Amino acid sequence: MKVLVVNCGSSSLKYQLIETTTSAVLAKGLVERIGLGEAEYSFTHGERPKVKVGIQSKNHTEALREVLGKLVSEPYGVLSSLEEIEAIGHRVVHGGESFYHSALITDEVIKAIEANGELAPLHNPPNLQGILACREVLPNKKQVAVFDTAFHQSMPEYSSMYALPYEYYEKYKIRRYGFHGTSHRYVAMKTAEFLGKPLENLHLITCHLGNGSSITAIAGGKSRDTSMGFTPLEGVVMGTRSGSLDPAVLLYIMEKENLTPRHMSDLLNKKSGILGLSGISHDMREIHDAVEKGHSRAKLTLEVLVHSVRKYIGAYMVELGRVDAVVFTAGIGENDWVVREMCMARMENWGFVLDKEKNRTTRGTLAEISTFSSPSKILVVPTNEELMIALETQWVLEEKE
Active-site positions read 148
231 binds ligand ADP (CB under 6 A): no
CA 191 to chain centre: 17
Cα gap 380→190, rounded to integer Å: 10
Closest listed residue to residue 140, CA positions, set 185, 82, 184: 82
Q: Give the nearer residue to ligand ADP in terms of CB position, either 276 or 331.
A: 331
Q: Give the nearer residue to ligand ADP in terms of CB position, either 134 or 354.
A: 354
Q: Give the nearer residue to ligand ADP in terms of CB position, either 68 or 369.
A: 369
Q: Give the nearer residue to ligand ADP in terms of CB position, either 191 or 213.
A: 213
Calculate Rg over the CA atoms of the chain: 22
Q: Contact with ligand ADP (CB under 6 A): which of 16, 149, 335, 393?
A: 335
* Span near ligand ADP by CB under 6 A; candidates 112-120, 130-138, 219-227, 329-337: 329-337
Q: How far is the CB of 275 from ligand ADP (least distance, A)?
A: 10
With b for 16 or more beta-carbon neighbours within 10 A and e for fewer, the 103-127 pattern comes to bebeeebbebbeebbebbeebbebb
* Span near ligand ADP by CB under 6 A; candidates 25-33, 326-334, 348-356, 371-379: 326-334
Cα gap 190→367, rounded to integer Å: 11
Query: Total binding residues for ligand ADP by CB under 6 A?
Result: 13
Q: Contact with ligand ADP (CB under 6 A): which of 331, 368, 370, 386?
A: 331
Cα torsion angle, 205, 208, 214, 219, sign: negative
**Rounded alpha-carbon distances, angstroms, from residue 336 to 51, 180, 299, 362:** 30, 19, 15, 9
Q: Give the nearer residue to ligand ADP in terms of CB position, either 35 or 364.
A: 364
* Residue 99, phi then psi, degrees to nearest 5: -125, 120
Q: Give the nearer residue to ligand ADP in terms of CB position, either 61 or 213.
A: 213
Q: Report strand pairing: 2-9 vs 377-380.
A: unpaired
Which residue number has the CB closest to ligand ADP?
331
* Residue 13, phi then psi, degrees to nearest 5: -140, 115
Cα gap 370→242, rounded to integer Å: 30
187 binds ligand ADP (CB under 6 A): no
Closest listed residue to residue 243, CA positions, set 272, 223, 220, 266: 272
SS (H, E, C) 141-164: CEEEEEECCHHHHHCCHHHHCCCC
Q: Contact with ligand ADP (CB under 6 A): which of 48, 50, 58, 285?
A: 285
111 binds ligand ADP (CB under 6 A): no
Site string for ligand ADP, 238-277 (x = CB under 6 A): -x--------------------------------------
Cα gap 25→19, rounded to integer Å: 7
Site string for ligand ADP, 147-186 (x = CB under 6 A): ----------------------------------------
Site string for ligand ADP, 192-221 (x = CB under 6 A): ------------------xxx---------
Q: Where along the sequence are the contacts to ligand ADP (CB under 6 A)?
A: 210-212, 239, 282-285, 330-332, 335-336
